[in-house]
Structure formats: C-alpha cells, structure tokens
Amino acid sequence: MSINVTKAYLPPLEEYIGYLEGIWERGWLTNNGPLVQQLEAELSTALSGANVQFMSNGTIALQVAIKALALTGEIITTPFSYVATTTAILWEGCEPVFVDVEEQTFCIDATKIEAAITPRTSAILATHVYGYPCDVRAIEAIARRHKLKVIYDGAHAFGATVHGRSLLAYGDITTCSFHATKLFHTSEGGAIITTDEKLAQKVSLYKSFGHIGDEYYSLGVNGKNSEFHAAMGLCNLPRVPEFIDARRQIAELYRAELAPLPLRYPVMPAATEYNYAYFPVIFDTEARMHHVKQALAAHGINTRRYFFPSLNKLPYHTGADCPVSEDIAVRVLCLPFYQQLEHDQVRRIGALIRENYA
C-alpha cells in the first residue's frame, strides 16, 4: 500500500450530510450563506475577534490582500515558500524582491530586510514556513520605521501561536489556505484575516465583484466560497486540537526513529506553540536526499521537495542570489505527515530511511 506525503482528513460522512440537509432545505448554495457566516464567526472567535473572510483559496486571498492594500512597485518577500507567494505578487503587477531566509527557521531573515528597501518598496510579504513563525516583532518595527505594509502568508500557520497570540493575527493582513492538503481544510478554500475594519470592508467588496446589490463601488473579482466548503470547515474546525496532538506524537516518533542519522531540522524560536504542519528534514547533500527519496518511492512512499526550487530561481522570474534558501531548497525533503498516519507506518518509513541512508 502506498503512503502519500499528505492525506486529507474526512469527517464522519453523517456529520457532513447533516450540513447538506440544511443546504437542501434552504436552497442557498453560495453568496455569503449561513454556513459561510457561521464558519467566519467561529474562525473569528478562534482568532481573538479578528475579521475573517472565507475565500475561494489561499492564492486568491493573497492577490486580494495585495489589491486591498493598494500595493505597487516592489514587495520584499521570501524565496522559501510555495510558488503562490511569488506568483501572487507578479500577478498583481508588482515586483518581488527576495531577501534570504534564516538558517534556523527558514523564514525571511529580518536582519537583511532593511538593506533591500528602496523608494519603490511598498510592503513585506513573508511566509511562516512549515508553521515556524517569522520574526514578527522585528518585521513590525521595520515596517513602522519605513511605512511599509505587512502581509503574512499564513497558509501553514493555522493553530500555531507566538508570544501568546495566534500566528494568524500579525501584520496588516494574514492570508490562509484551507486546501485539502493543509492542517485545517475546507477541501478548497482560504481566508483573509485582518483587525482593520476598513480594510475588511474593502476585502468584502473585492471578493464579490465590487458591488453590493445594484450599487457598484469598485473593481472586484470572484473570491467567495460556497456553503459546501464551509460545511467541511465546520466539521473539521473543532477537531484541530486533536489533529495537532496526533501530529505532535508522529513528529516525536519520527525524530526518535531518525535520531541516529545526521539530519537537520528547522529550529523553533522561543515563545512558540507549534502546530506540526509539516515534517521537513534536511540532508547533508542533495545526492543523499535524492537517494533516500528514490528508495522510499520504490516502496510506494511519496515524499515532496517542499520547497524546491528556491523562488528566486523560477524560470519566469529570476531574483538576486539567496544562498541560504538555495542551499536548503536542494537538500530538504518533506516526509509523509498527517494525523491519520499510523505509528507503525512511521516506524517503517524510519527504518527505510536508516537502511537507505547512503
């Protein structure tokens, strides 16, 4: 039996059907229906009252965030993330300026941001990669000093806290992805999170074509999401603490299984409660990473090169050198990691890695 790098959690079917019955009764499928409103309210409560807008996906959330903040020119960003972080900037007609990442967290190196600021810089867009927090305090201070906006791509950050506050509650806007592969999912989906009410109103308009009834206010796009997706979210949301706990146990087991090997892991900064979003391991060489990846694949075990390539090396947009990010990107491998993964499967994967570490 093959093991994928991730596996979407599906709630008990009868629970989902309960929500479907309500949808059938009301005949209300989309356009800010009651389940979307309920999910937004529950997410808002979980995020200390921040405004949460349920979006069609995490990529549109990033694009609408850039539009809502009216960003232009250069946006300082991380080269170590999923490709959508960079393409959202390019799609909105802005220029990504890559600043290298930290050796410890693989998040943008805040100490290198100021050197990259020019008169054309409008914002910083950084990713809490694997759910490890960016240096939010340092970034906030830089943004204030230079009058820049801050967007966090929080696609990996759901359920993590730093300095006692949800990691999704920092910056002018945090975007999130609720894609089927993420820790908390709505099959497809995402969110824009902000504490700025004016900005929230703008986002609300932008995500539904820029009009309310017959009044047309601004340009907009279709960034809404449906009752069916909200229903999946309402089933999954109360289970997030369980998911995190199961993942923590799996991560600890992996670490014990792999302890004899000279592998490297990102280092968690202080004052963080981790969400165990991913399980990345760094090999000492790219060749060894490939060797282990192929050996696992021969046993039906899929791993992913998250994140490769370093985004400053994309074929359609090349940025300045980022030696730390480039070095990690060629050696990193994300192992199968999801809450339903059985401990015996983890032991088997651990044994295969030990046997094939050559």
Ligand X SMILES: *Cc1c(COP(=O)(O)O)cnc(C)c1O
- Residue 262 CA: distances (Å) to CA of 47, 255, 281, 282: 38, 11, 10, 9
Beta strand segments in 20-154, E:
51-55, 74-77, 95-98, 121-127, 149-153
- In the stretch 49-68, what mask flags binding to ligand X with x, by CB under 6 A? --------xxx---------
Question: Dihedral (C-alpha) 65, 66, 71, 75: value to the nearest 10 degrees?
Answer: 120
- 254-293 binders of ligand X (CB under 6 A): none
Q: Which of 82, 170, 337, 338 binds ligand X (CB under 6 A)?
A: 82
- 109-128 binders of ligand X (CB under 6 A): 127
Q: How far is the CB of 348 from ligand X (least distance, A)?
A: 27
What H or E segment, with its residue span, contains residue 245? helix 240-258
Q: Is 87 in the site for ligand X (CB under 6 A)?
A: no
Q: Is 224 in the site for ligand X (CB under 6 A)?
A: no
**With respect to ligand X, which residue has the nearer C-beta, 258 or 311?**
311
- Report helix angle 343-355 to 286-298, nearest 10: 130
Q: How far is the CB of 345 from ligand X (least distance, A)?
A: 24
Q: Is 153 in the site for ligand X (CB under 6 A)?
A: yes
User: Using omega within 30 degrees of 0 as the cis cutoff, is the peptide bond preceding 262 cis?
Assistant: no
- Sole window of 148-156, 231-239, 241-249, 281-289 interacting with ligand X (rule: CB under 6 A): 148-156
Sequence-distant (6+) residues with CB within 8 A of 278 are 130, 131, 156, 306, 334, 337
Q: Is 190 in the site for ligand X (CB under 6 A)?
A: yes
Residue count, binding to ligand X (CB under 6 A): 14
- Give the span between the Cα atoms of 310 and 312, in whole angstroms: 6
Q: Is 183 in the site for ligand X (CB under 6 A)?
A: no
State the residues that interact with ligand X by CB under 6 A: 57-59, 81-82, 84-85, 127, 153, 155-156, 177, 179, 190
